[in-house]
Copies of this chain bind each other. A is one copy, B any other.
């Protein structure tokens, strides 16, 4: 009998997808589900909702338990086969607000701030210690479990787990599987399973290296349409990247706008409109989500007739492949030990992986085109230094990380970068461990 522990189970919609999917998988009908969160209300809501799904769609075959707070965490993890991680440390208020407001004082504008840049760095710094605590528990009570990480910043968190713990970790992101389809739909081309594509790089900056149908390269037609009819409104940054660097990138335009130094430039204010860059997008989404949740709660939590149909989320397919030994292919985030040969060995890369009873096994990629490797390296610099900061608690490593961020370095001086880091450390208070 499979045991799945869900960290951050108060993420009601996401836990519905992953755990609803799992209960619908024949291999996991009778699974044991452990819900863990530190927010009692949200935990109760998810518990109620999943009980309904179990009853309505799974003949009640699964066993669902809830575990509230750190003292019950180890019990939640005990004997787990899979641990799904979807936590958020510090929440919208206060931490996301801090991530945006402090940099804004220095004139540094962001869109999402959950992956790279100053926001991504601090999100990692407050999340890694929590995950290392999870890891210590897992090494003790479920050393063979697979840890499926969904929390951002993906490369920093997954990299920290893989370098500092023995937990079998893979990082998962929706941006890989939807990339090719999204690109083609954006230029009014049909997509189906026969379209072959190959993606590799780093999380949120994975490269669509190949896209073909029946052996024919689709890029020329895609680029022709993009040039002639223009990029979709919501995707101007990525189309610019495709035309300028030759390849499309996995994560959305609003994200990539802040991963490179070319789009949000104080000296070129007109670019914001031209590339349709939604500054401060993430806090806006948080507010909307909080509002939306009030409306959605009724239909999910207090709906005794709630049904679930299996989604396209990777997680249940991965667990199913491991349980049933039927091969499944994913784009996973793993340590780069010679997989992408022109990225640093210590980087956390996103590559095709084979999943079956032997676990998640990454595939060899080789060299990326050098311009793509260059862009990846410019982000990996920040990731490696942030992980070093979190593992050593040396304050200067935070400065290093921030100074290597292409957008931050383009916009601010050394003095301002250091001052901004100091402000952020202070604003975080106890959300961060003490730095030396």
Q: A-side interface residues toward B, CB under 8 Å?
A: 144, 193-198, 210, 212, 215, 240, 244-246, 260-262, 265-268, 271, 324-325, 327-329, 337-339, 341-342, 344-346, 352, 354, 356-358, 361-364, 366, 370-371, 373-375, 377-378, 381, 384-385, 388, 396-397, 399-400, 403-404, 406, 409-411, 413-414, 418
Contact = CB atoms under 8 A, between A and B. Distances in A.
Given A210-B358, A342-B345, A378-B381, A371 B337 contact: no
Contact of A381 (B265, B329, B358, B374): B374
Pick the most buried of A245, A260, A357, A418: most chain B CB atoms within 10 A of its CB.
Answer: A357
A354 B329 contact: yes
B377 A325 contact: no
B358 A196 contact: yes
B352 A361 contact: yes
A197 to B, nearest CB: 8
A256 to B, nearest CB: 13
Given A261-B410, A337-B364, A409-B262, A352 B346 contact: no
Given A193-B325, A414-B240, A358 B198 contact: yes
B384 A370 contact: yes
26 contacts: A193-B324, A194-B324, A194-B325, A195-B325, A196-B358, A197-B358, A240-B414, A244-B399, A246-B396, A262-B413, A271-B413, A327-B354, A337-B364, A338-B338, A338-B341, A342-B346, A352-B361, A354-B354, A370-B385, A371-B400, A374-B384, A378-B381, A378-B404, A406-B409, A409-B410, A410-B410
Chain A interface SS verdict (over half): mixed
Contacts of A414: 240, 244, 262
Nearest to A396: B246
A391 to B, nearest CB: 11
A404 B337 CA distance: 25
A267 B362 contact: no
Contacts of A374: 381, 384-385, 400, 404
B403 A244 contact: yes
Contacts of A342: 344-346
Nearest to A375: B404
A288 to B, nearest CB: 31
A413 to B, nearest CB: 5
Which 9 A-B pairs rank lowest in CB-CB distance, beginning with the nearest? A196-B357, A338-B338, A410-B410, A374-B381, A371-B400, A327-B329, A354-B354, A361-B363, A261-B409
A378 to B, nearest CB: 7
